[in-house]
Structure 1
Amino acid sequence: MRAPLPLDAVLGLASDLIRAPSQGGIDTPVAVLEVGARALGALGLAPRLLDDENGQPVALMAEIEGGKPGPTWVLNACIDTAPAGDRGAWSLDPFAGVVKDGWLWGRGSADSKIAVASFCHLAAELAKSKDSWHGKLIVLFDADEHTGRFGGIKRFIKERRDIGGVMVGYPENDIVNIGARGFWRAKIEVYGTAQHSGAVSPVPKNATVKLARLIQAIDAVTPPPPPEGAPFPLPPKLTVTGVEGGSGFAMVPNAASLNLDFRLTPAFQAPVAQKLIEGIVAKLDAEIPSERPTKIAALESWGAYKLPADSQLGTALVAGASLAAGRPVPGEVCGPSNIGNYLADLGIPATCGFGVTCKGVHGADERIEIASIPLVWDAYGHALEKLLIG
């Protein structure tokens, strides 16, 4: 029988993690990984840092082996965070880790340092009965997620492909996320002819004007909705997420580019998305020819996924969440792509979210509701007991 949630200890660790800034692409993750490693060691677990090919730390893990053979299950949460942004927009210091009015405030409190703190303590508690387990449990904390490189999970998977499933501790608890839209991302560059903007000769083709036409054409696309009753209920989504072009004031730009994010579904995967964009670009080049054709540079793509109805991992967490909540908690797909998509492409089952109630994720005043922590503790506790003990 599991002990009750050690709430003060979990909150204390979460606050310590928040006080070690780990903004992706801004802060080195060394300090926050040290906080996590000390916590795991103090709880009787054996922390291990994972380095990338350059010798830089990108993740922290601990492995607990059960007394009997069985699958390896993973509790995963990112230990790095989004940038804090404009600190003047925050009501409290984003790195103070303050408890106020029933909420824990700070950058990364929701995404996902409360999950790191909870999973450390939950793994240590469950380890007390490890002799009765069928299989192993790994806690994995990724310090390279918000950079977009996902170096921690990729480094882990290089050496550990013997995984029965991964539960990712993203926040929110209306549903258990058992799938997500995928993505196809590309950089598209259009071209024109450079010239002094004050020249008296006819104005040449302006790359930024052509780019504006391309953006309008992309914005006019309405991807098809899912068929009625489809098992994957979300439609594809197409978004221009960045624009670049021109320099100063005195030159007609000869090149301009945009970043494109195309969210995918099982019925609308990367080849379909790329073909659609290629058609838009070909039409634009025919209407506004230039010395060089528009260039589409496909960057990265992860497929959409949804766990099957008989998934051992999905059914365990759905049952655990429902038991903890005292109500049916459905397993459904979510819109944002995540590490679950990467794992699914490798054939590794993953849930991608059941967590605390929160506000301000990736914005100002990020915070989590302390009263929601026991729900999450019980949900994952029930699920892991089902997976490891039966």
Structure 2
Amino acid sequence: MSENLVEPARNRVASVIDLAQRLVRVPSRGGLDPYGPVLNVLEEWLFGHGLPHKRLMSPEGNLVGLVVEIAGGAPGAWWALDACVDTAPFGDESAWTFSPTSGEVRDGWLLGRGAADSKLAAAMFCHIAADVRAQAGQLAGGLAVLLDVDEHTGSFGGARAYLADPGIPVPAGVMIGYPGLDEVVVGGRGLWRARVSVPGASGHSGSSRRTTGAISRAACLIQSLDNAVMAPAAPGDPFPLPPKISVTACHGGEGFSVVPDLCVLNVDVRLTPSFGEDEAGLLVHDLIAALDRDLPGPRPTDVEVVAAWPPFQLQPGQEPAAALFRAAKETGLDPHAKTAGPSNIGNLLASHGNIAVTAGFGVPYEGLHGLDERAHLAELPKVYAVYHQAVVDLLSPV
């Protein structure tokens, strides 16, 4: 890799870490903490470095992100870097060996919730935006840096506001700064989620009359869902993961003396190209129809679909993944392509006009979403240089 990119990356590390430390020290748990304070830290840095940016607002008028826009000197495609700055909850704080909002650097690790996912990436992308702005006149198209919140709630308010803003160019591709040095995530299973309301006969638990309550009916349905046979992938299918169905919540009844008349299940189905929304819906409805036929309730079981995203997978050589692989190779890194089992914000982006998405390449990490989250900093200069080189490559005039 050319020295004019490696040296700035090395020289940038101290400033990147300083900004990341400030972000980690501001609690921003999705759905629990206000997002304004952590976004204010970023906005202050962007103002101080003269980077053009705008606030992103939800339909309800809440601040859900910032977007930096760097236009090149010639027409061309826009590309985006994305890092969320809200985080998972802390969990049992007494079990941590350091404060979840530590922000300390110890033995080469940045410590605290969000260090890995994804405040270090947010700090890095802000600096890359500053570097790209300095050479924007020689580039084509443009770079957007999305700094979003409301991601860990699963609502993806920041990304949705970004996509909905008519004043922001739709990117040809997005690189999301999730951590992990060994992989570039180029795909993910989709999802189909439904809330299933299972009715039953209510009554006193001590009654001499036998009743089939909602929980008993729901238990039968759960067993059927757990035993459901998912269609295997066809021979030669390039998508490496099978579909999967899970019951993730069960709510019904209270106390001891009343047999409940309603039990509500959350059903999560992970989708593949050969097993999509239609197949998931048909499978769940068929199992429910069998329940209502074989163990009738007082009324039909109801299904409310609450989310549906398709799977995504970039093709070999497709940008922006190809640019990341080229840049990584020049630094001596050799990450492999991975299609992830969990869905992520890449599914949302990919479903919006087929935006090409990578959803992970970054520094090594530990404790993501768990105890003692931390990000390893020794590899940060190379990761920085890879993303910088990839962006410059994508924005270079043909």
Fold-level match, TM-score > 0.5? yes
Q: Is the 8 A contact 2:319 2:356 kept in 1?
A: no
Give the alignment's Cα RMSD to 1 decimal.
1.5
**Partner SS, residue 266 of structure 2:** strand
Q: Is the 8 A contact 2:187 2:313 kept in 1?
A: yes
C-alpha deviations, 1:234-283, integer Å up to 9, x for none? Answer: 11111111111101222101110111111111111011011011111111
| Partner amino acid, structure 2, of 1:137 | L
Match of 1:365 in 2: 372
Match of 1:304 in 2: 311
Match of 1:4 in 2: 9
Shift in Å, 1:228? 4.3
Following the alignment from structure 1 to structure 2, what is the Cα–Cα distance between the partners of residues 11 and 231?
Answer: 39
C-alpha deviations, 1:14-50, integer Å up to 9, x for none? Answer: 1111111111111110000001111122222123211
Q: Can you give the 5+ residue segments of structure 2 that lack an aligned partner in the other structure?
A: none
Pairing partner for 1:168 from 145, 161, 176:
176
TM-score (structure 1 length as normaliser): 0.96
Pairing partner for 2:53 from 24, 43, 47:
47
Q: Is the 8 A contact 2:185 2:359 kept in 1?
A: yes
Match of 2:142 in 1: 136
Following the alignment from structure 1 to structure 2, what is the Cα–Cα distance between the partners of residues 331 and 42?
Answer: 37
Count of paired positions:
388
**Partner SS, residue 4 of structure 1:** helix
Shift in Å, 1:293? 1.2
Match of 2:72 in 1: 66
Q: Is the 8 A contact 1:225 1:234 kept in 2?
A: no
Which aligned pairs between 1:254-265 and structure 2 lie closer than 5 A? 254-265=261-272
Following the alignment from structure 1 to structure 2, what is the Cα–Cα distance between the partners of residues 264 and 320?
Answer: 31
Shift in Å, 1:365? 1.0
Q: Is the 8 A contact 1:246 1:253 kept in 2?
A: yes
Does 2:357 align with 1:350? yes
| Partner amino acid, structure 2, of 1:191 | P
Does 2:121 align with 1:115? yes
Pairing partner for 1:318 from 296, 321, 325:
325
Pairing partner for 1:187 from 178, 187, 195:
195
Pairing partner for 1:224 from 231, 234, 245:
231
Which aligned pairs between 1:76-87 and structure 2 lie closer than 5 A? 76-87=82-93
| Partner amino acid, structure 2, of 1:182 | G
**Partner SS, residue 378 of structure 1:** helix
Following the alignment from structure 1 to structure 2, what is the Cα–Cα distance between the partners of residues 202 and 356?
Answer: 63
| Partner amino acid, structure 2, of 1:192 | G
| Partner amino acid, structure 2, of 1:276 | L
Does 2:339 align with 1:333? yes
Q: Is the 8 A contact 2:245 2:268 kept in 1?
A: yes
Following the alignment from structure 2 to structure 1, what is the Cα–Cα distance between the partners of residues 230 and 179?
Answer: 28
| Partner amino acid, structure 2, of 1:164 | A
Following the alignment from structure 1 to structure 2, what is the Cα–Cα distance between the partners of residues 255 and 229?
Answer: 44
| Partner amino acid, structure 2, of 1:87 | E
Shift in Å, 1:161? 4.9
- Measured at CA, do residues 126 and 177 of structure 1 come closer, stay the same or move farther in structure 2, by a change above 3 Å? same
Pairing partner for 1:100 from 83, 102, 106:
106
Following the alignment from structure 1 to structure 2, what is the Cα–Cα distance between the partners of residues 271 and 185?
Answer: 12
Which aligned segments of 4 or more residues in structure 1 are displaced greater than 4 angstroms?
none
Following the alignment from structure 1 to structure 2, what is the Cα–Cα distance between the partners of residues 235 and 317?
Answer: 27
Shift in Å, 1:221? 2.2
Following the alignment from structure 2 to structure 1, what is the Cα–Cα distance between the partners of residues 289 and 181?
Answer: 44
Q: Is the 8 A contact 1:43 1:121 kept in 2?
A: no
After TM superposition, the structure 1 stretch with the greater mean CA deviation from structure 2, 332-341 or 17-26, is: 332-341
- Measured at CA, do residues 26 and 126 of structure 1 come closer, stay the same or move farther in structure 2, by a change above 3 Å? same
Following the alignment from structure 1 to structure 2, what is the Cα–Cα distance between the partners of residues 295 and 167?
Answer: 39
Following the alignment from structure 2 to structure 1, what is the Cα–Cα distance between the partners of residues 153 and 87?
Answer: 9
Match of 1:375 in 2: 382
Q: Can you give the 5+ residue segments of structure 1 that lack an aligned partner in the other structure?
A: none
Shift in Å, 1:136? 0.8
Which aligned pairs between 1:199-210 and structure 2 lie closer than 5 A? 199=207, 201-210=208-217
| Partner amino acid, structure 2, of 1:177 | V
Match of 2:253 in 1: 246
Following the alignment from structure 1 to structure 2, what is the Cα–Cα distance between the partners of residues 370 and 4?
Answer: 13
After TM superposition, the structure 1 stretch with the greater mean CA deviation from structure 2, 355-364 or 214-223, is: 214-223
Pairing partner for 1:295 from 302, 314, 324:
302
Does 2:163 align with 1:157? yes
